[in-house]
């Protein structure tokens, strides 16, 4: 894998700056009950702000967003109002401030999981899409990185309607979804890899994601899921591998990491999952706790024959690749080596010393 990455290159940028503001402005905070208590929480003032259509909706402040999402995660918003809020926010789109407030509200609802980080920082892979047309290669990528001695924690949904989930394939490869935090920690200790259902990582977030079954569309919870880390991990203690689906979402992620710096890889996903295309790997943006961004360019490759997209066929093919019976696709090899190299380098990097005169 190391040889295939050697022909790639990197484009370095300066520190990330925030995107220009949209020009939409809120009124005074009192209009939306900034200090509303969860007891008897009334979401209607919030709906009046964000449910005015794409061009008429007004953005919430960070504090207002946190108050609203605290109520949502606490189960204090009725189903009908919650559905209206989620659809309204999907139409309007989240701002960086609203997303920051949401992540602050989610933080107390995330489980703690202890991950080793002496040799390499862990790689956290949110996998919530699955595959619909192509084989799901996230399990292969994760297992290749784990084989390099880098701890890999995947979190997501065990089953995705009409799609092949990452967890289904991993189960067939001998890595079933962990039923508890203890099982996930044991998987990391033994195999450097664990698959953690979102229902174990955060039951409150899992409940929010389940609203998709009623509304038929994804919601802001899926954005939060891609940023979620176990409660005890700081943003500079793990790499998040985040797939984006469109330019606006990628811009929002850049803005988020500009205001909340940490280790991350951002990339256009393949069917929403964070793996590279096999014939022409897409650029991977690497962000670090200083706020700097480096664009990693992988070399073009020839796409090999792939298995059928069902879970069993993909698992069998993945096993053959890992056992050396089939060559590792060059693009996946490059991506896995990039992740492993950067995780090891970050674990051994020493902070810069400040000279005091």
Give the tens place of pLDDT for each residue, 17-38: 333 344 333 333 333 444 444 5
Q: Which residue, of 93, 109, 125, is where some domain finishes?
A: 109
- Are 88 and 230 within one domain? no
- Are 214 and 280 within one domain? yes
Supply the pLDDT for residue 55.
Answer: 86
Q: Which residues neighbour 332 within 8 Å (Cβ) at sequence distance 6 or greater?
A: 137, 140, 141, 144, 275, 276, 278
- This prediction has a pTM of 0.87
User: Which residue in this structure is represented by tokens 């009623």?
Assistant: 214
Distances (CA, A) of 245 to 43, 240, 270, 273: 29, 16, 8, 9
Mean pLDDT score across all residues of the chain: 88
- Are 67 and 184 within one domain? no
- Are 123 and 93 within one domain? no
**What is the spatial distance between Cα 224 and Cα 228, in angstroms, rounded to a whole number?**
6
- Are 53 and 85 within one domain? yes
What is the Cα gyration radius of the chain?
21
Q: Which pLDDT band holds residue 199 (cuts at 50, 70, 90)?
A: very high
Supply the pLDDT for residue 5.
Answer: 42
Give the percent of the chain with pLDDT over 90: 79
123-127 and 9-15: which strand pairing?
unpaired
Give the model confidence (pLDDT) of 329-357 as tens digits: 999 999 999 999 999 999 988 654 333 33
Give the model confidence (pLDDT) of 134-165 as tens digits: 999 999 999 999 999 999 999 999 887 789 99
The arithmetic mean of pLDDT across residues 306-312, rounded, is: 95
Signed CA dihedral, 44, 48, 53, 58: sign only: negative
Q: Domain range holding 317?
A: 2-16+116-348
Give the model confidence (pLDDT) of 93-131 as tens digits: 999 999 999 999 999 999 999 999 989 999 999 999 999
- Are 90 and 150 within one domain? no
- Are 78 and 133 within one domain? no
- Are 219 and 341 within one domain? yes
Supply the pLDDT for residue 351.
Answer: 54
- Cβ burial, residue 77 (10 Å; 0-12/13-18/19+): buried
Is residue 23 in a domain? no
**What is the spatial distance between Cα 167 and Cα 153, in angstroms, rounded to a whole number?**
12
Give the model confidence (pLDDT) of 237-277 as tens digits: 999 999 998 899 999 999 999 999 999 999 999 999 999 99
Q: Which residue, of 64, 89, 109, is where some domain finishes?
A: 109
Q: Which residue, of 109, 135, 164, is where some domain finishes?
A: 109
User: Which residue in this structure is represented by tokens 């897409």?
Assistant: 282
Strand locations in 39-189 (E): 123-127, 152-156
**What is the spatial distance between Cα 155 and Cα 199, in angstroms, rounded to a whole number?**
9
Q: What is the largest CA-CA distance in the chain?
A: 65
**What is the spatial distance between Cα 170 and Cα 148, in angstroms, rounded to a whole number?**
18
- Are 324 and 188 within one domain? yes
Supply the pLDDT for residue 350.
Answer: 61
- Are 203 and 300 within one domain? yes
CB 343 within 8 A of CB 121: yes
> Looking at the predicted structure, is the pLDDT value of residue 281 above 80?
yes
State both tokens at 31: 């209009």
- Are 298 and 328 within one domain? yes
Is residue 83 in a domain? yes
Count of domains forming the chain: 2
Distances (CA, A) of 272 to 36, 141, 254, 288: 36, 15, 17, 23
Supply the pLDDT for residue 161.
Answer: 78
- Are 70 and 211 within one domain? no
């Amino acid at each position: 894998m190391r040889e295939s990455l050697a022909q790639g290159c990197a484009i370095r940028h300066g520190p990330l700056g925030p995107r220009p503001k949209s020009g939409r402005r809120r009124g005074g905070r009192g209009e939306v009950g900034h200090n509303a208590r969860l007891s008897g929480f009334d979401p209607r003032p919030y709906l009046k702000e964000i449910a005015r259509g794409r061009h008429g909706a007004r953005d919430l402040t960070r504090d207002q967003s946190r108050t609203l999402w605290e109520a949502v995660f606490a189960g204090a918003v009725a189903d009908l109002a919650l559905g209206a809020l989620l659809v309204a926010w999907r139409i309007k789109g989240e701002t960086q401030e609203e997303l920051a407030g949401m992540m602050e509200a989610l933080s107390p609802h995330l489980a703690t999981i202890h991950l080793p980080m002496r040799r390499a920082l862990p790689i956290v892979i949110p996998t919530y899409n699955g595959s619909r047309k192509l084989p799901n290669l996230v399990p292969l990528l994760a297992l290749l990185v784990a084989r390099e001695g880098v701890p890999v924690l995947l979190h997501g949904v065990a089953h995705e309607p009409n799609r092949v989930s990452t967890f289904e394939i991993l189960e067939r490869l001998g890595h079933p979804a962990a039923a508890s935090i203890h099982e996930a920690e044991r998987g990391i200790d033994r195999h450097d890899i664990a698959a953690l259902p979102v229902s174990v990582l955060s039951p409150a977030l899992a409940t929010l994601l389940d609203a998709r079954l009623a509304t038929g569309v994804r919601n802001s919870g899926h954005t939060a899921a891609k940023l979620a880390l176990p409660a005890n991990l700081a943003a500079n203690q793990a790499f998040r591998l985040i797939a984006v689906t469109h330019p606006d979402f990628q811009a929002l992620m850049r803005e988020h990491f500009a205001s909340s710096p940490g280790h991350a890889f951002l990339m256009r996903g393949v069917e929403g999952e964070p793996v590279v295309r096999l014939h022409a790997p897409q650029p991977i943006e690497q962000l670090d706790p200083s706020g700097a961004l480096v664009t990693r360019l992988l070399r073009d490759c020839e796409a090999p024959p792939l298995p059928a997209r069902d879970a069993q066929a993909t698992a069998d093919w993945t096993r053959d690749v890992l056992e050396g019976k089939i060559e590792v696709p060059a693009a996946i090899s490059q991506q896995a080596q990039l992740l492993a190299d950067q995780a090891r380098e970050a674990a051994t990097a020493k902070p810069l010393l400040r000279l005091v005169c």
